[in-house]
Each structure stands twice: as structure tokens, then as C-alpha cells.
Amino acid sequence: MHKSPKHLILTSIIDTWKFDREVIFLGRWCLKDSHKSVWEEMDAEIAPPIGETTEDCDFLFLEARRIESHLFPKFTSILNQYHGTSYDERYWKILTGHWFRNVTELLTNRIYTIQRCFNQYNIATVSSYVPEANSLVQANYMDSIMQADNDFWNSQIYEKIIKLLITDTPDFDMIPYKNKAEQPQEIQATKKREIFRKESLYTTLRKVAVKFERDSDAFIINSFLPLGREFILEALLGQFPQWHLSQKYVTLIAAEAAVRKNLSQELSIIAESRVESTLATLLFDLIPIGYLEGFTELTELSRKQTWPKKPKFIFTSNNFAGDDIFTMWTANKVVEGIKYIAGQHGAGYGTHKYESPTVEEETSDKFITWGWSLNQLKYLPGFIFKNATIENYTSKSNGGLLLIQQPYTIRIRLWEQGTRFSQYMDEQYIFCLKLRKDILNELTVRLHPSHEKMLGEMESNWKNFDKGIKIDSGRVPIKELWRDNRIIVHSYDSTGMLETLEANIPTIAFWKNGLDHLLAEAIPFYTILVDVGIVHLTPESAALKISDVWDDVEMWWQSSKVQKARREFCSQYARTSKQPARDLKRILLEKK
């Protein structure tokens, strides 16, 4: 341990920083690039991040899943007792499972970050915000999880963890919180306009559809088929297209702090370690109101939806996470014996070891993949639903180079995401520096639409690297960009990579840590792509390959060995369907 006393900084807000002493920033997320001129002059260190090695990631993953499997049965028992119900664990996992897993991983991250920091440094003082009543609690799952990037929310979480976990508690410097808008008004307004247009269209369609709806119709919401293909699917099922649109659960019901404290104490009794006890104590501080005080209201709201009373089946590729009205309705329909089918949402399923199996895989009766299967009857090999309109793609021989960026995800993962994202950006710059100058001039960097939550830092970072670089802000439809470029580069193991491979678009990918994130059974299929130069384990290798093939991309891409590798990989993880509506109907109605 470092002997000299240190002051611990928990947030990126300068009001909480100290300039008259040695300080420790708890993580890279504290250091915004826009504040660089300030923090570079401080007597400061960044606490070593957790999850930097594969071994540590494995440990954190297994620890989080162990805690989840140990606490969840007791958690559901407490909920049943509180609500006067007797639902089984599957019911509660459909309703609360995604939140429970996300918050367990989030708290595992926060707890081990604090524990290791205090083990390494002599922390004498900490800056934190003056807490406000019920400020940790949100009405619904999505709003709850989105707090993971909120400095005020995190500050309170870290303070509670320190007081629960650390024996020799430091002194706290409590600072009043000045609430600030997290997004510029023009970004908020743009998003509101986009959401309004979509909801208005679906509301209009629903007014027509509800007149033809039957209680026995299959319930399909967000299948991920293009809208026209979903129309055909429902017609093939013998029903009028439904165009379901769920609503967000909001409430005026307040959280009851005293009740939550008692429930926390009841759950923490079974904890097997100090870490698990700390996590268990915090769970009922964070549980959304809709699962506790607003449970009856959420139940009634789900029953009032104009949805089939006894649907043939329920199918979604999206609403199983983040839609509390849907998950409440589905949980109750499953109790009534209705079949629940989930579809693959994107990349990671069946390949990424830190995501498998997902909650939707565990809770559904049947799970439709994009090609892969397990030795279980519930898994049904399907195809990429989202690519159902891509046909006869031809590479633009004189097109540019498109680099598709990873989103800056909210801090709900087990490892420290700020450091990882900083390292990720360093690799993007290395990739660009290793490109031929003429190719670099043809490069467009496609920012993920979620970059707006970083308040413009992503775009400014790229301009600081190279003022002449072309930036796409994420508003142009991605498939338009596919057609304007001769090679698509994915700098992370993404849904987009699966889509461009399936569509037979010249694709190159590279990412940090090679194949360490994969399940053992997935590695051979990715190795096939490495061997033919599609997937690269360093940015330098990817840049060199592009330089090698740039003048005749089609000769490389259409070569027998590249096409054989692509087909073999896609057969497992990115299958094609020429008749997507008919094929999905057949899969949905399979009896096995």
C-alpha cells in the first residue's frame, strides 16, 4: 500500500476535485478530454482499473454470476412475500431478470473497484455529494440502468459501498449537487422529433389494426424483420398486421425507504462474503418502483394493453429487456401457459463468453438464433432477421473506406469501461496512421449514434487527431454507407460485422485482446476468418491488409478461400434467408 494519505475523487465534475493535496481518480471516466488542461496539472494518479486481464475478467464474471445465482431465489421469495403472490423464479426472471443481472454486474464492478483502490492506497478523505431522498430509485428498468453514467448517482453508490465495505472509513467532504442537463437541448429536441415521428406512424397503424385483431392472434413485437417482411409474416400466420408499440412505465408512486431498508436486511442475511453482503444490501435501494411499490399499478397497466388475450405465442427480438410493460404482460401470459419465443438481438449470442447465456435465452420456451445451435431443444437455428432486404450487393470498386466505431457504452459492465474505451481509441488512431496516405484520404469514420451522449467529445477527439478526416455522425442509414464504400472496417466484434459478412460485403475487422472474449466453441469459426485476413488481431495488421488489397478488392474478396471461409462462418453465426417471412413462420410454428 502507498503510505502517504490520498484524497479520492469519484466523479468527472470539477466541483468535487481537490487541488491542494495528492489525489486518486477512481477511474478513467473521471477524466474528460474537455478537462485535460485541468487534470494534467494536478498531483494525481488514476487507480488501476479492474478487468484489465482475461484472468481478471473471468474472475469478475464468475463472481457476478455466483452472486446472482445465490441471491436471486431469496430475492424472488422476498418479492412474493411482499406482494402476497406465489410466482415461480421464471416469472420473476422474465420481469426483473435483466435488471437483476445488470445491477449485479454493475455493483460487482463498483465494489471491487473500491476494494482494490483502498487495498492499494491510503485513502484519508473522499469527495461525495450530499444525498437526496430516493435519488437512487427510478420508476422502470431502463431509467434505472441509465443512471450508471450519472456522476451524482455513482457518487452515492460509492459512498454507500465505502461505508459498508471498508473497516477504517475515511472522512467525507460532502458537496451540494448542482443538477445539470446531461445533453444539449438541440440533441434532446432532435431525439424527441425522431421518437415522435416513429410513435405517430405506429399509433396510426394501430388504430387500423386493432379493428381486425383477434384474441388468439400470435403476438409479435419488434421481430427485427423489416416492416414489410413482418407484414408478410403476419399475413402468412393468417392475421392482420398488428404494429404493436409498447409504452414506457412512469409513475407518481414514491419509493418507501423504510420498507426497502427492511427488505435489504432480509436479503443480506444469506450473503456468504463481505462483497456479497454489500451488494445484497444495495439491491433494494436500487430496485425500480415498478417491481416493488408500483407492482400492482404496472400489472394493471399491462392488462389494459390492447393485446391478444390468449395469443398463439409471443415473439420478440428486443422487448425482453427495457420494456417493463411487455415483460410484466409476458410473465403473466407464461403463467397462463402461453408459449414465449425470443429471437437473437445482435452479436454476442453463442459466441461471447461474458454474455452467455443471456436472460432471454434462459427464460424463453424457444430461442431463435442467427444460425448456431446448442444441444438443447429450445434453440432453433434461424437467420439474420435485420438483413432481410439486402440483395445482390456489389462492391463499389472506386468507393471509399468506412471505419465503423464502437459505441461508448454506459458503465454497467464488470470491467472499467473508461480505460478500455481510451485504449480502444488509441488503436483506432494506430490503424489510421498505418494506412497508406491515399487510402486515409478516402476514409470515413462512422460514429455510433450514441456518441451524442458524450456531448461531442468523440467528434472533437477525431478532429484533434486529424482535422481532415471525414466524420459521419451516425444519422445516415448505415446501409447507404455500405454501398458507397469498397471495404467496411469493424473495429469491434459487432452485429454490423455479422450483417456485412452475411450480405457478402467486403469486410475487415480488428479489435483488442484477440479472441479472448469468445466461448471455446466459437474460436474455431473466428480463426477461419483470421486465416483469410478478414479478422485481424492488431490494428497494424488490418491496415496492412487493406493496403495490400485496396487496388483490387474484388479479387481478394471473391477468391475461393475467402468466400469459403465467409460461408462457413455465416452458416454458424450469420445465416441468410431468401424467403425470410416464410422461413420465420416455419421456425415459429415448429413443434420440437
DSSP characters over 559-587: SHHHHHHHHHHHHHHS---SSHHHHHHHH
For residue 461, pLDDT beyond 80: yes
Determine, yes or no, domain membership for 288: no
Same domain, 428 and 520: yes
318 and 449 share one domain: no
Q: What is the per-residue pLDDT across 533-544, written as a single tens digit (0 to 9) for each?
A: 999 999 999 999
Average pLDDT score over residue span 453-468 = 80
Mean pLDDT along residues 17-21:
93
Tell me: do 369 and 512 sit in the same domain: no
Q: Please report whether residue 436 resides in a domain.
A: yes
306 shares a domain with 366: yes
84 domain-assigned:
no
Mean local confidence (pLDDT), 432-455: 86
User: pLDDT by residue (tens digit) across 350-408?
Assistant: 999 999 999 999 999 999 999 999 877 899 999 999 875 555 566 677 899 999 999 87
CA distance 157 to 145: 13
pLDDT band at 448 (very low <50, low <70, confident <90, very high): confident
pLDDT of residue 417: 85
46 Cα distance to chain centroid? 26
Residue 458: per-residue pLDDT: 83
Identify the CATH number of the domain in which residue 477 sits. 3.40.50.2000
pLDDT, residue 2, reads 67
pLDDT at residue 470, as a whole number: 94
Quick one: cell of 165?
465495505
What pLDDT sits at residue 243? 81
What's the mean pLDDT in 40-58?
94
Between 111 and 409, name the one with better pLDDT: 111
pLDDT at 199: 58
Same domain, 323 and 404: no
- The pLDDT value recorded for residue 321 is 95
- Euclidean distance between CA atoms 524 and 532, whole angstroms: 13
Is the pLDDT at 197 greater than 60? The verdict is no
> What confidence tier does 424 reach under pLDDT thresholds 50, 70, 90?
very high
For residues 151-161, average pLDDT: 95
Over residues 255-264, the pLDDT tens digits come to: 999 999 999 9
The gap from C-alpha 64 to its chain's centroid, in whole angstroms, comes to 17
Q: Which one-letter DSSP state was computed for residue 518? A: B
With b for 16 or more beta-carbon neighbours within 10 A and e for fewer, the 41-70 pattern comes to ebebebbebbbeeeebbeebbebbeebbeb
Where does 336-415 have alpha helices with state H? Answer: 359-363
**Band of pLDDT at residue 188, cut at 50, 70 and 90:** very low
pLDDT for position 426:
94
C-alpha count within 13 angstroms, C-beta hemisphere, residue 407: 12
Is 414 a member of any domain?
Answer: yes
The three cell numbers of residue 381 are 437455428
The proportion of the chain whose per-residue pLDDT surpasses 70, expressed as a percent, equals: 93
Higher model confidence: residue 143 or residue 244?
Answer: 143
Residues 439 and 502 in one domain: yes
Q: Find the mean pLDDT for residues 416-442.
A: 93
Does position 185 have pLDDT exceeding 60, yes or no?
Answer: no
**Are residue 428 and residue 323 in the same domain, yes or no?**
no
Q: Higher model confidence: residue 489 or residue 28?
A: 489
Digit-coded pLDDT (tens) for 72-82: 999 999 999 99
Q: Does 349 score more than 90 pLDDT?
A: yes
- Is there a single domain that holds both residue 209 and residue 317? yes
Higher pLDDT among residues 457 and 144, named by residue: 144
pLDDT confidence of residue 209:
74
> What's the pLDDT score for residue 375?
75
Residue-wise pLDDT for 559-580, tens only, equals: 999 999 999 999 999 999 999 9
Q: Give this prediction's pTM.
A: 0.93
Q: Are residues 584 and 522 in the same domain?
A: no
Confidence of residue 184 (pLDDT cuts 50, 70, 90): very low
> Which element (helix H / strand E) includes 116?
helix 89-120
pLDDT digits (tens, 9 = 90+) for 96-121: 999 999 999 999 999 999 999 999 99
| Residue 114 CA: distances (Å) to CA of 123, 162, 397, 520 | 11, 7, 53, 32
- pLDDT of 190 higher than 60: no
3-state secondary structure of 385: helix
Could you tell me if 432 and 499 lie in one domain?
yes
pLDDT at 210: 75
**Is it the case that residue 466 has pLDDT exceeding 60?**
yes
Q: Looking at 333-394, which runs of residues are DSSP E strands?
A: 340-343, 366-369, 379-381
User: Stretch 49-78: mean pLDDT, rounded?
Assistant: 97
- Span of 100-114, 234-248, 306-320, 347-361 with lowest mean pLDDT: 234-248
* Number of separate domains in the chain: 2
- Residues 383, 415, single domain; the answer is no
| Residue 352 within a domain | yes
Detail the DSSP E strand segments found in 38-141.
44-46, 122-129
- Please report whether residue 179 resides in a domain: no
Domain enclosing residue 528, as ranges: 400-573
pLDDT top residue among 237 and 133:
237
Half-sphere exposure of 56 (CA within 13 A, CB side): 14
Does the residue 341 lie in any domain? yes
Q: Which amino acid, residue 5?
A: P
CB 116, CB 143: distance < 8 Å: no
The pLDDT value given to residue 393: 62
Provide mean pLDDT across the span 264-283.
97
Look at residue 286 and tell me if it is in a domain: no
Rounded distance, CA 7 to CA 307, Å? 55
528 and 584 together in one domain: no
pLDDT of residue 77: 98
Closest CA to 286 of 317, 255, 320: 255
Mean per-residue pLDDT of the chain: 91
Query: DSSP assignment, residue 16?
Result: G
Q: Are 42 and 19 in contact (CB under 8 A)?
A: yes
96 versus 457: the higher-pLDDT residue is: 96
- In terms of Cβ atoms closer than 10 Å to its own Cβ (0-12, 13-18, 19+), residue 33 is middle
